[in-house]
Structures are given as structure tokens and as C-alpha cells.
Structure 1
Amino acid sequence: MIRLRPGPPATVADLRQAQALAGLLRAELDRVRSAALAWRNGLGALLLALVGFSLIRGRTDVGTLAPNWAALVGALLLAALVTGAVGALALLCAAHGRLAVTPVAALPPPPTGDHQEAVAAVRALRTGVGLVLLCAALLVAAVGVTWYGPPRTGPFVQVGTGAGAVCGTVTATAAGTLTIRTATGPVQVPLTDATTVKAVPAC
């Protein structure tokens, strides 16, 4: 038969350790929220530098790429958009909490509930950081494809004018004006200024 007996009384060191642990549990959620805010601001600045300030730049017109490579750029940009949006939502969840209401009857005691919320916030923070970094990698990959992807192959039209030659693909004709898509963007050439018009295999 097993009999339970009271243990030795708590020492001063035991009491201080218990107080320190309780203090850590009370401040744990605030520390995680502060870290999530810092990560959110830092990663937002990174994406802003990549996109808003154009620190990386590829072709100005994706239409000059070969069709399959242009589709790949579109897929990479779509994947970057999705991962960036999900990562941003995860970071917001880590910084400000989930969009959910817990019934009063299901609320755990304060130390336990705060710890569970901190664990969920850390999990959301890790997910958000990983997804935002993946978004940045996809953006860099998309720009890399625009740099090194093969250009669209003919047929091309080279129109000679008094100011020089314009080479590209004809996208529209209206009112005696040719709209030619070149490597630097669309160019409108009046037919009255054209001196030569010929098909070429490449520009």
C-alpha cells in the first residue's frame, strides 16, 4: 500500500525559481508579439526594396520572351503573390492574434492560455517568415528568367525610317500607323515615314 506524505518545505531558491518561471510565462506572449512585429516590418521592407524600388530589373516587356518562358515567368509571379499573401497573413496572425473567439467556458487558466497562445504565435511566425522568404526567392527567380530566358523567335518586321530602323513584331495597325512591339516597348511608326519594310528572322 502506497501512502502519500507531504514533501519537504520549499526553500527560498525554490520560491524564487517559481516566481521567475511565472514572470517568464506572463511576459512570454508579449515577447513573441514584439518579435513578430519586428519580423513583419523587416520582411516588409525587404519586399518593398525588391518590388517598389526596383533593385532588381529584368526585361521591360515579358512578351519579348519565348512563349513557354513567358508562361514560366507568369507562374513564378503568381506563386510569389500567393506565398507572399499567405505569409503576410501568418505574420499578422503572429503579431496580433487569430481572428477567432474562444467561448468563455473553454478558456484555460491565464498562464496556460497565454503559453498556448505564445506557442501558436511562434508557429505562425515561423510559417510567415518561411513563406515571405520563399516569395522573395520566387520574385528573384522570375526576374532571372526575364534576364536569361530565350527571346521570342520570328517573324519580325524591320521598318526603316529617316530616324533609324525599328524592329519587332507588329501588334496593331490603325490610321496608317504600325504599332511594333520591340525589346524596349511598343513603338508607333507612321507608314508615311517608312522607307523600307522587310521581314527578318531576328532583331
Structure 2
Amino acid sequence: MSAPPRITAPTGRASPRDLLAAQERHRLAREALPRIRAAATGWRNAAGVLMAGLVGFGLVKGRTDVGQLEPAWAAAVGFLLLAALVCGAWGAYLLNRAAHGPLATVPAGSRATRSAIEHRETRTALRAMRRGIGLGLGCACLLVVAVGTTWYGPSAKGPALEVTSPGTGTVCGTVTRVAEGTIWLKSGGTTTQIPLAGVTRLRTVEACP
């Protein structure tokens, strides 16, 4: 059976430099948690301003109605907006967690020292702040991608045709039929027959005015 370890007194004495270094480490450890709290508060406020700028003030806008997109693209936009909402909400919670601490109290019977509790909370708050920042930036990116999809996604309706002729004037609508030198344009529930022989101008447009 091996002998138990022996505890011996230190052989040397601490120098003034060692004492100053120990005091500095103690000061940094004591101020770490307040610094992280302040940083998390700043990041939380910055994320709030960014979201307010993107959404509230309309700095980024696309189509006002995703129903104008093809169904698959409209569903993709909805998924991106939902993902942005989840990321933003979870990121805001984590940043508030880092800024103000957990929604819990330390058990009265805890034997951990105050310095140990603060050190553990410092590490937890730092981890929450990093994740909250990442989720906040992810929310902004998802929101921009969703709006960009509404810009460049294919329309649910095909391109319209604008036809000008002496007999009908300028008519804009979607082509429903072409036969026997006549084109049928549907616009606003009304179908107009236009003889192609009398057409003076014909062009495709993104949407009818």
C-alpha cells in the first residue's frame, strides 16, 4: 500500500512582483462579470436597432405580397421569415441572459464561494453572449435573404403582353388564345380579341399598369 501524499510548506517567499500579479488577477476576475454584462447590454441594444431599421423603417423592402410569387418560392420566403423570427427571439433571450443573469436564484444551502459562483456565471454569460450575437447576425442575414427572394423570385403570373392597335387602343393582359390571326388578351376579368394584322406595337411587360 502506497504512503499518503505529504503536504509541505513552500520553500520560498512571495516577491512583491508575485503579490502584484496575484492582486491583478484577483481584480480582473472580480471585474470580468460586470464587463461581460455591459458588453452584452451593448450588443443587445445594437441588435435591437438593427432589427428596427430593417423591419420598422423599411430600409429593405421587396414585394408587399408573397402571394405574387410562385407557391414554392412563397413557401421558401415563409420558411426564411420563420427561421429569422426564431433566431431573433432566441438571440434576444441569450443576450438578455448574458446582460442580466439567469431567471433563478442561488440555492441557500450552496457551499460554493462567491468567487466560484461569479467565475461560473462569467463563463456562462460569455457563452450566452457569443451565441446571442451569432443568432442576431443570423436573423439579419435570413431576413435579407427572404426579402431578396421576394425581389428576384419568379412571379406566380406569367409576363403580361401589351398590344396597341388602331381598333382597340392599348390593351395589356395575359394571352389566353392565339388563332386565325387573332390574339385573345385577358385583363381584369375581360377578354379582348385583337386582330394581329392591325397591331402597331407589341411588347411584354412584367405586370400590367
Q: Under a length normalisation based on structure 2, what TM-score does the superposition of the two structures give? A: 0.73
CA distance 1:105–1:88, shift in 2 (3 Å): same
Q: Note the 1:5-154 alignment, pairs <5 A.
A: 5-153=9-157
Query: C-alpha displacement at 1:165, in angstroms?
Result: 7.0
CA distance 1:26–1:11, shift in 2 (3 Å): same
Query: C-alpha displacement at 1:6, in angstroms?
Result: 2.9
Query: C-alpha displacement at 1:123, in angstroms?
Result: 0.2
Could you tell me which amino acid in structure 1 is paired with residue 51 of structure 2? L
Q: How many Å separate the matches in 1 of 2:84 and 2:129? A: 18
Q: Which SS does the other structure have where 1:198 is aligned? A: strand
Query: C-alpha displacement at 1:148, in angstroms?
Result: 0.3
Could you tell me which amino acid in structure 1 is paired with residue 68 of structure 2? T
Which protein has greater RCO, CA pairs closer than 8 Å, 6+ apart? 1
The count of corresponding residues between Structure 1 and Structure 2 is 172
Query: C-alpha displacement at 1:110, in angstroms?
Result: 1.6
Q: Corresponding residue for 1:172? A: none
Could you tell me which amino acid in structure 1 is paired with residue 191 of structure 2? K
CA deviations on 1:122-161 (whole Å, 9 max, x unpaired) are 000001000011100100010010000000036x9x9xxx
Q: Taking every aligned residue pair, what percent have the same amino acid on both sides?
A: 46
Could you tell me which amino acid in structure 2 is paired with residue 74 of structure 1? G
Query: C-alpha displacement at 1:19, in angstroms?
Result: 1.0
Could you tell me which amino acid in structure 2 is paired with residue 27 of structure 1? E
CA RMSD, 1 decimal = 2.9
Query: C-alpha displacement at 1:199, in angstroms?
Result: 7.9
Q: Corresponding residue for 1:197? A: 190
CA distance 1:3–1:49, shift in 2 (3 Å): closer
Q: Corresponding residue for 2:166? A: none
Structure 1 unaligned runs (5+)?
Answer: 159-163, 169-188, 190-195
CA deviations on 1:155-196 (whole Å, 9 max, x unpaired) are x9x9xxxxx97869xxxxxxxxxxxxxxxxxxxx8xxxxxx8
Q: How many Å separate the matches in 2 of 1:106 and 1:165? A: 81
Could you tell me which amino acid in structure 1 is paired with residue 26 of structure 2? A
Q: How many Å separate the matches in 2 of 1:199 and 1:100? A: 71
CA distance 1:108–1:53, shift in 2 (3 Å): same
With 118-127 and 11-20 compared, the bigger mean Cα shift is at 11-20
Q: Which SS does the other structure have where 2:109 is aligned? A: helix
